[in-house]
A and B are shown apart, each in its own frame.
Chain A
């Protein structure tokens, strides 16, 4: 798995490539929480278009990011969910708690 961050206007985009599972979800969690808590970004967008697989530990990292963002009144947005990632979020009934968009453009422009 590769993970990188970049600025996109006033948003920060976290690009994740590969599988998010028990082995590497701590890294996703660390990057997400660091951006929110330390860098205090107002809008964090997670790009999941390169994620082929995500397990419950990966979902838990995203849920933790969402909860921290809500506490800090930051936005926490997902986009580019693969069918596998969408299925996992639907199965865990968490798809409706996240702000999800199809494309980066929609995520960045979301009011």
Chain B
């Protein structure tokens, strides 16, 4: 059996705090420092809110599966939903110079994670994200 934890839960925002706790503790177990644990948790949380809002259109009783896995000196997170998919080319971050609410989640995910792979399949969407230990977010790089 590989080093994977699988969680299944409904698309109810009420549970997001519980899920964040799991992600943060798994990241700490893998060996990320406190700051990286917060970043990873934020990225995965944002991906989950996208599933709830866009794949499931805010329906709170739909199935979500999350897999947390140690691999290649880092952490891989996979989210699976069965809602409305979008074409990968539609997942464009917006211009942050335009100060307005909304559209920030995707930007955050891409800034934080090293790899993101979105696979919309028939009736099943999968988002796989990977963060390597020691890699920095773009914001951290800019601080240097």
Please give the residue numbers on chain A whose beta carbons come within 8 Å of chain B beta carbons, in ascending order: 19, 21-23, 53, 55-57, 59-61, 63-64, 66-67, 84, 87-88, 90-94, 97
The SS class assigned to the B binding surface is helix
- Which residues of chain B in 2-56 are interfacial with respect to chain A, using CB atoms and an 8 Å cutoff? 13-14, 16-17, 20, 35, 38-39, 42, 45-46, 49, 52-53
Chain A: minimal CB distance from B55 (Å)? 13
Contacts A22-B16, A55-B42 given; indicate if A61 touches B108 (C-beta within 8 A).
no
Contact present for B105 and A56 (CB under 8 Å): yes
Contact present for B52 and A22 (CB under 8 Å): yes
Contacts A56-B46, A56-B49, A91-B139 given; indicate if A21 touches B101 (C-beta within 8 A).
no
Contact present for B108 and A92 (CB under 8 Å): yes
The SS class assigned to the A binding surface is helix
Chain A: minimal CB distance from B129 (Å)? 16
A-B contacts, 24 listed (Cβ < 8 Å): A19-B17, A21-B16, A22-B16, A23-B14, A23-B16, A53-B20, A55-B45, A55-B105, A56-B46, A56-B105, A56-B108, A60-B101, A61-B101, A63-B99, A63-B101, A67-B99, A67-B101, A87-B35, A87-B38, A87-B139, A88-B108, A92-B104, A92-B108, A93-B96
Separation of A84 and B45 alpha carbons in the complex (Å): 14
- Which residues of chain B in 74-114 are interfacial with respect to chain A, using CB atoms and an 8 Å cutoff? 96, 99-102, 104-105, 107-108, 111-112
Contact present for A57 and B100 (CB under 8 Å): no
Who on chain B is nearest to A29 by CB?
Answer: B101
Neighbouring A residues of B101 by C-beta, 8 Å: 59-61, 63-64, 67
Who on chain B is nearest to A57 by CB?
Answer: B49
Separation of A87 and B41 alpha carbons in the complex (Å): 13
Neighbouring A residues of B16 by C-beta, 8 Å: 21-23
Chain B: minimal CB distance from A24 (Å)? 8
